[in-house]
Structure 1
Amino acid sequence: MGLEAVVNEIREKGRKEVEAVRAETRAEVEEILRDAQVRAAEIKLSAEEEAGRVAARTTNQEVSAANLVVKRQVLNAQKTLLDQVYSASLAAVGDLPAEFQEKALTDLLKRAAKEIKKGVVHVNERDVPVVEAIISRQKTLSGYTVGAPVEIPGGVIVESTDGELQIDYSYGTFLDEVWESGLKDASDILFA
């Protein structure tokens, strides 16, 4: 064998080894690429799932916040309506007929006389003449005098002559008591 044949044989052997290395490298590159694609797909799926969770959480938070705003607005509207009902009730009681007012004031004064024998009666300006007439007619109320008018929708406030005791039988006080005890019932009726 000549030198040229040995060189050709070495070249052929080198070429075969180069091709084998290239094939092996191609196979490794393809495997690395496949692994990278699988990993990329996993990362993409994980990112999509996380984005879905974040979107769902954000949506839930926004819906909850919107529901809270709506609920607050409804409660504010209900409170406004209840305040209007309260004011209308108080005005309606104060606007009852004169006969009713006289009877109610008489009953309230008799009730107060059981606790305060002598005192000063305060009423709104409209009821001063009525209370003066009631006191002059009723013997049990002879220890009472009419004091300065007060800003109440109706009823009486009686103060003992020594100023140590005061009884508030104003319509506003009675309505407050009824309102507090019946507010839930009124709310249920109005907003059920």
Structure 2
Amino acid sequence: MSLETVVEDIRDEAHARAEDIREEAEERAEEIVAEAEEEAESIVEEREQAVERQIDQEREQTLSAAKLEAKQQRLEARRDVLADVREQTEAAITTLEGEERKELTKALLDAAAPEFEDDESVAVRGRADDEKLLTEILEDYDGWSYVGERECLGGVVVESEESRVRVNNTFDSVLEEVWEDNLKELSDRLFDDE
């Protein structure tokens, strides 16, 4: 074999080896690119899912906040309506007149009377506008007298120094008790939407 043939064989072998290396490098490069693209797709997908989760979370938070605000506004409106009803009730009680006011006031005095059976003198306070009415009613109660006004819608505050008892039978106290006992029912009747 001539030197030229040996050189040619080495050259051919080197070319073949170089071709194999190039092909292996291309295959490896394609694998790396494919892996990189797959990883990039995975990262994009993860980020998209994270963004979707964040959007869903923010949507839920916004919706919850809006529902809470609406509920608070509804409760505030209900409180306002109930306050208006209470004011109208107080106004109606204040304007009671004549026989109806007399009967209610007498009933409140009668309800307080058992607490003061053994007392010789009993002091009665009431609304300033009811002084004449109270004085007239108290003529039927021995030892009972009107002693001054009490800021209230009507009714009486009865007390005695002998027994150190005080009974608050004002229209205000009765209204407060009835109001508290029946507030849920009243609310249900006014707001029967729930």
**Residue 161 of structure 1, CA deviation:** 3.0
Q: CA deviation at 1:190?
A: 0.8
Match for residue 190 of structure 2?
Answer: 190
**From 115, 119, 122, the counterpart of 2:122:** 119
Amino acid at match of 2:126: V
Letter in 1 for 2:116: I
Contact 2:157 2:168 in 1 (8 A): yes
Q: Following the alignment from structure 1 to structure 2, what is the Cα–Cα distance between the partners of residues 106 and 35?
A: 96
* Runs of 4+ residues over 3 Å off in structure 1: none
Query: How far 1:180 moved relative to its partner?
Result: 1.0
TM-score (norm 1): 0.92
Shift of 1:183: 0.6
TM-score, normalising length from structure 2? 0.91
Bigger relative CO (Cα 8 Å, ≥ 6 apart): 1
Question: In the alignment, what sits opposite 1:134?
Answer: 137
State how 1:1-192 maps to structure 2 within 5 Å.
1-117=1-117, 118-136=121-139, 138=140, 141-162=141-162, 164-192=164-192
- 1:55-108 residue CA offsets vs partner (Å, 9 max, x unmatched): 112211211111111111111111121112112111211211222111222222
Counterpart CA distance in 2 for 1:28 and 1:113 is: 107
Separation of aligned partners in 2, 1:24 and 1:105: 110
Deviations 1:100-119, CA, capped at 9 Å, x for gaps: 11122222223322221431
For 2:92, the aligned partner's letter is: A
Query: Is the Cα–Cα contact under 8 Å of residues 122 and 144 in structure 2 kept in the other structure?
Result: yes
Contact kept in structure 1, 2:108 and 2:169, CA below 8 Å: yes
Query: What is the CA-CA distance between 1:167 and the residue it aligns to?
Result: 0.7
Q: Work out the CA distance in 2 between the residues paired with 1:76 and 1:162.
A: 47
Letter in 1 for 2:123: V
Unpaired runs of 5+ residues, structure 1, are: none
- Superposed displacement of residue 163, structure 1: 6.6
Q: Partners of 1:40 and 1:58 in 2: how far apart? A: 26
The aligned amino acid for 2:25 is: T
| Residue identity opposite 2:138 in structure 1 | I
Task: Give the share of equivalent positions with the same residue, in percent.
Answer: 32
Q: How many residues align?
A: 189
Runs of 5+ consecutive residues of structure 2 not aligned to the other structure: none
Distance (whole Å) between structure 1 residues aligned to residue 53 and residue 6 of structure 2: 69
SS in 2 for 1:162: coil
Instruction: Determine helix, strand or coil for the equivalent of 2:96.
Output: coil
**Using the alignment, how far apart are the partners of 1:111 and 1:35 within structure 2?**
93
